[in-house]
A and B are shown apart, each in its own frame.
Chain A
Amino acid sequence: MTRDEIVLAIKDIIATIAPDEELGGLEMEVRLRDQIELDSMDFLDIVMELRKRYGVQVPEEDYMQLATLKGCVDYLGPKLESKALVLTALKG
Chain B
Amino acid sequence: MSEERRYFRGSGDGKKPRATDPLAKARGEYDLIVIGSGLAGLTAANVLGSLGHKVALLEQHYNFGGMATWFKRRGGHVFDVSLHGFPVGMLKTCRRYWSPEIASRIVQLDGVRFDNPQFQLDTTFTREDFTEKLVTHFGAERATVAAFFDYLRGLNYYDDPRDTVADCFERFFPGRNDIHRLLLEPIAYANGSTLEDPAIAYGIVFSNFMSKGVYTFTGGTDWLVARMKDELRRNGVELFNNVAVERITVEDGRATGVVANGRHLRARAVLSNANVKRTILELVGPEHFDPAFVREVEAIRLNNSSTQVYIGIREGCSVPWITDLLFTSTRERFDSPALCDFHGKSRTFSFYYPKVRPGSERFAIVSSTNANWSDWAKLDEDSYAREKARLIEDTLVQLERYVPQIRAIADHVEAATPRTFEFYTQHLQGASFGTKWEGLRPSMELSSHIDGLYHAGSVGIIMSGWLGAANYGVITANKVDLFLRAAAQAAHAPESR
- Contact between chains at A45 and B96 (CB < 8 Å): yes
- Mask for B73-106, Cβ within 8 A of A = 1, else 0? 0000000000000000100110010000000000
A52 and B51 contact, Cβ closer than 8 Å, known pairs A17-B96, A41-B92: yes
Whether the Cβ atoms of A44 and B51 lie closer than 8 Å is: no
A51 in the interface (beta carbon within 8 A):
yes
Chain A interface, >50% SS class: helix
Interface digits, B462-497 against A, CB 8 Å rule (1 contact, 0 not)? 000000000100110010011001000000000000
A73 to B92, CA, bound (A): 27
Distance in angstroms between the alpha carbons of A57 and B481 in the assembled complex: 11
Q: In the bound complex, do residue B481 and residue A44 qualify as a contact, i.e. CB atoms below 8 Å apart?
A: no
- In the assembled complex, the Cα of A44 lies from the Cα of B481 at a distance in Å of 12
**Between A and B, how many residue pairs show CB distances below 8 Å?**
20
CB-based nearest B residue for A57: B482
Looking at the complex, which one of B93, B471, B481 makes contact with A48 (CB distance below 8 Å)?
B481
Residues 139-157 of chain B, each 1 if its beta carbon lies under 8 Å from chain A, else 0:
0000000000000000000
**Chain B residues positioned under 8 Å from A45 (CB to CB):** 96
Question: How far, in Å, is A23 (CB) from chain B's closest CB?
Answer: 17
Number of B interface residues at 8 Å Cβ cutoff, please give it. 12
Q: A47, B478: Cβ atoms under 8 Å? A: yes
Measured CB to CB, the nearest residue on chain B to A58 is: B482
Whether A48 and B92, one on each chain, are in contact in the complex, defined by CB atoms closer than 8 angstroms, is no
Once the chains bind, are A48 and B96 in contact (CB under 8 Å)? no
Residues of B within 8 A of A57 (CB): 482, 485
Q: Is the interface of B mostly helix, strand, loop or mixed?
A: helix
Report Cα–Cα, A60/B481, bound state, in Å.
13
Interface residue total, chain A, C-beta cutoff 8 A: 10
Q: How far is the CB of A14 from chain B (nearest CB, A)?
A: 13
Residue in A17, A39, A48 with the greatest tally of chain B CB atoms within 10 Å: A48
Given known contacts A17-B96, A52-B51, is B482 in contact with A44 (CB within 8 Å)? no
Give complex CA distance A17, B475 in Å: 16
Q: Which of B51, B471, B482 contacts A41 (CB 8 A)?
A: B471
Q: Which A residues, 40 to 81, have Cβ-Cβ distances below 8 Å to chain B?
A: 41, 44-45, 47-48, 51-52, 57
Q: Are B482 and A51 in contact (CB under 8 A)?
A: yes
CB distance from B90 to the nearest CB of A (A): 11
Contact between A44 and B475 (Cβ–Cβ < 8 Å)? yes
Enumerate chain A residues within 8 angstroms of B475, measured Cβ to Cβ.
44
Is A44 a contact partner of B474 (Cβ separation < 8 A)? Answer: yes
Q: B residues within 8 A CB of A51?
A: 481-482, 485
- Asked if B474 and A41 sit within 8 Å, CB to CB, the answer is yes
For residue B95, which residue of chain A has the nearest CB?
Answer: A19
Residues of B contacting A44 in the complex (Cβ-Cβ under 8 angstroms) = 474-475, 478
A39 to B474, CA, bound (A): 14
A51 to B471, CA, bound (A): 19
Complex alpha-carbon distance, A10 and B17, angstroms: 54
How far does the Cβ of A10 sit from chain B's closest Cβ, in whole Å?
17
How far, in angstroms, from A17 to B481 measured CA to CA in the complex? 19
Please, which residues of chain A bring their CB within 8 A of the CB of B474?
41, 44
Min CB distance B336 to A, Å, is 28
Chain A residues 7-38 with CB under 8 Å of chain B are 17
Residues of chain A within 8 A (CB-CB) of B51 are: 52
Q: Complex Cα distance A45/B477, Å? A: 11
Within the complex, the shortest CB–CB distance from B257 to chain A, in Å, comes to 25
**What's the nearest-Cβ distance from chain B to residue A81, in Å?**
20
Residues of A within 8 A of B485 (CB): 51, 57
Which A-chain residue is minimally distant from B92 (CB atoms)? A41
Give chain B's interface residues, CB within 8 Å of chain A.
51, 89, 92-93, 96, 471, 474-475, 478, 481-482, 485
Going nearest first, the 5 A-B pairs with the smallest beta carbon separation are A48-B478, A41-B471, A44-B478, A44-B475, A57-B482
5 A-B contact pairs sorted by A residue (CB < 8 Å): A41-B89, A41-B474, A44-B475, A44-B478, A48-B478
Beyond A17-B96, A47-B478, A51-B485, 11 additional pairs, beta carbon < 8 A? A41-B89, A41-B92, A41-B93, A41-B471, A44-B475, A44-B478, A48-B478, A48-B481, A51-B481, A51-B482, A52-B51
